[in-house]
Amino acid sequence: MPKITAIQTIRTRAAGRWVFVKVLTDQPGLYGIGSASDHYHSSTVITAIETIAPLLIGREAGAIEDNWQSVYTSGYWRNGSILNTALAGIDMALWDIKGKEAGMPVYELLGGATRSAVLAYAHAGGNDLTELEDDVRRYMEEGYQVIRCQLGNYGGGGFLPGAEAGQPKNAAPLERVFDDEAYLKNIPEMFAHLRDTVGFGPKLTHDVHEHLRPHNAVALAKLLEPYRLFFLEDLLSPEQVHWYRAVRQQCVTPQAMGELFINPHEYVPLITERLIDYVRVRVSKGGGITQCRKIATLCEWFGVHTAWQEGGDNDPVNQMAAVHLDLASTSFGVQEENHFTPEEYDLFPGFARLEGGYLYANSQPGLGIDVDEEKARALLDPALAARAYFMAEDRRVDGSIVRP
């Protein structure tokens, strides 16, 4: 069995927000690739991986579960976003090695494919109802069955011009403010318009991005019930998930939750109490393939489905890891799509193909994807990578931050 000889990191994308792990073995040419990207803490994740590496050097690469458990407890404190991301990158790389050694795709090692391709949902948006409708129709023409609908950007539909929103006289200038009541008015009107114009054929979703106060979140779920959403995404913040019990009591609007989840104590109660319908943990933030296949199995027994989170900051390696899980899992529901530039795709031989609303893996051994290190270095802009990046701040009329 191959042994781990080195663990390296590859940082790329123009701003350096993508981090990949390369695990080398004592068998010539046998290595694995994993995703450890973190949009805001790339350097911190790299340091964590470098700290973990000495623990695994010399160990058997095929002892994936034992290696996962060892790293998970190695720092005593666990279930943090940085450790999970570092662990996930190493874990994906070890599954990649295992598949290459066996001469099989990872989904075959996980039990074999249960479907031909992975259903993906598109992201439609517009600054007004006409723009949004046009975008929805565009995706329908491309073959997408499931389409997310946003009026404006995240939290769109609840933003008002800052100068006209009744701010305190000593308030700092804001271009826009978020308002719960505007959201409760505009989003149901958005879906009423879409159902009137495009009908009930397309399956529609919406991302609240955890912007609403809990009681207003419950009210929104109830107001949207007549429009038969495929799911309502991230209705509540992780700190307020107990409110999903009230949502279940009020309506049957399907709920998808978990973009910010990193701890089993967050998602296990929601699954086992059947309070959500789709779990949206990002594979790299959940601890990798080893942990997320366990989440998928738990979902199966409680009638919950997976919809692993991708988003615009994600990368093709994490996407491919999600695709392998999706292919092998009977609890799969839908996968968030992601588009990359031609220059970015060029870095990743074997990337998942997105066509007509489906993601397609390949039949190559392991994850079936690689990273061209020379092109990765060329894409990185050192000046941009040296900057600090933070989540955008949305604020209410009185200047207080809206916590996503």
Dump strand ranges (E) for 52-137: 118-126
Q: Both 95 and 142 in a single domain?
A: no
Single out the residue of 350, 204, 332 nearest to residue 279, CA to CA.
332
> What is d(CA 400, CA 221) in angstroms, rounded to the nearest whole number?
24
Active site residue: 72, 154, 227, 360, which one?
154
Pairing assessment for the beta strands 146-151 and 203-207 based on DSSP bridges: parallel
pLDDT given for residue 70 in this prediction: 98
Residues 44 and 139 reside in one and the same domain? no
Q: Do 116 and 90 fall into the same domain? A: no
**215 in catalytic set:** no
The residue range of the domain holding 329 is: 109-367
Asked if residue 37 lies in contact with residue 18, where contact means CB atoms within 8 angstroms, the answer is yes
Question: Using CA atoms, how far apart are residues 173 and 391, in angstroms rounded to an integer?
Answer: 19
- Map residue 75 onto helix, strand or coil: coil
**pTM for this entry:** 0.95
Per-residue pLDDT of the chain (404 residues; tens, 9 = 90+): 899 999 999 999 989 999 999 999 999 999 999 999 999 999 999 999 999 999 999 999 999 999 999 999 999 999 999 999 999 999 999 999 999 999 999 999 999 999 999 999 999 999 999 999 999 999 999 999 999 999 987 767 888 887 777 889 888 888 889 999 999 999 999 999 999 999 999 999 999 999 999 999 999 999 999 999 999 999 999 999 999 999 999 999 999 999 999 999 999 999 999 999 999 999 999 999 999 999 999 999 999 999 999 877 899 999 999 999 999 999 999 999 988 999 999 999 999 999 999 999 999 999 999 999 999 999 998 998 888 888 888 899 998 999 88
CATH of the domain at 246: 3.20.20.120
Residue 289: inside a domain:
yes
Residue 382 lies in a domain: no
AA letter at 384 = L
CA 169 to CA 163: how far, in whole Å? 11
Domain harbouring 70, CATH code: 3.30.390.10
Q: Say whether both 227 and 272 belong to one domain.
A: yes
Q: Can you tell me the distance from the alpha carbon of 175 to that of 152, in angstroms, rounded to the nearest whole number?
A: 14
Which one, of 277, 234, 273, lies nearest residue 257 by Cα? 234
342 phi/psi in degrees, rounded to 5: -55, -35
Whether 118 and 98 map to the same domain: the answer is no
What total number of domains does the chain contain? 2
Which string of DSSP letters, residue by residue, matches 186-235?
HHHHHHHHHHHHHTTSSEEEEE-TT-S-HHHHHHHHHHTGGG--SEEE--
154 has catalytic annotation: yes
One domain, residues 143 and 17: no
| Residue 400 resides in a domain | no
Among 382, 367, 288, 335, residue whose Cα is nearest residue 96: 367
pLDDT at 192: 98
Of the three residues 45, 75, 105, the one that is the final residue of a domain is 105
> Same domain for 338 and 262?
yes
In a domain, 42, yes or no: yes
Q: Are residues 88 and 152 in the same domain?
A: no
Q: Are residues 168 and 194 in the same domain?
A: yes
- Look at residue 390 and tell me if it is in a domain: no
Q: Does any domain span residue 378?
A: no
Tell me the Ramachandran region of residue 65: left when phi exceeds 0, alpha when psi lies from -120 to 50, beta otherwise. alpha
Distance between CA 35 and CA 227 in Å, rounded? 37
CA-based end-to-end distance of the chain: 45
Among residues 89, 86, 100, 87, which one has the least CA distance to residue 25?
100
CA–CA distance, 121 with 326 (Å, rounded to integer):
14
- Report yes or no on 301 lying in a domain: yes
Domain ends where: 79, 105, 131? 105
Beta strands 353-355 and 401-402 are: unpaired
Same domain (yes/no): 256, 293 = yes
Instruction: Report the C-alpha gap between 292 and 283 in whole angstroms.
Output: 6
Are 98 and 44 in the same domain? yes
Which candidate in 41, 123, 206, 209 is catalytic?
209
**Would you give the distance in Å from CA 131 to the centre of its chain?**
26
Strands 146-151 and 18-25: unpaired
- Residue 178 shares a structural domain with residue 211: yes
Of the three residues 105, 138, 157, the one that is the final residue of a domain is: 105
Beta bridge partners of 335: 120
**What local confidence, expressed as pLDDT, does residue 246 receive?**
98
Q: Does a structural domain hold residue 143? A: yes
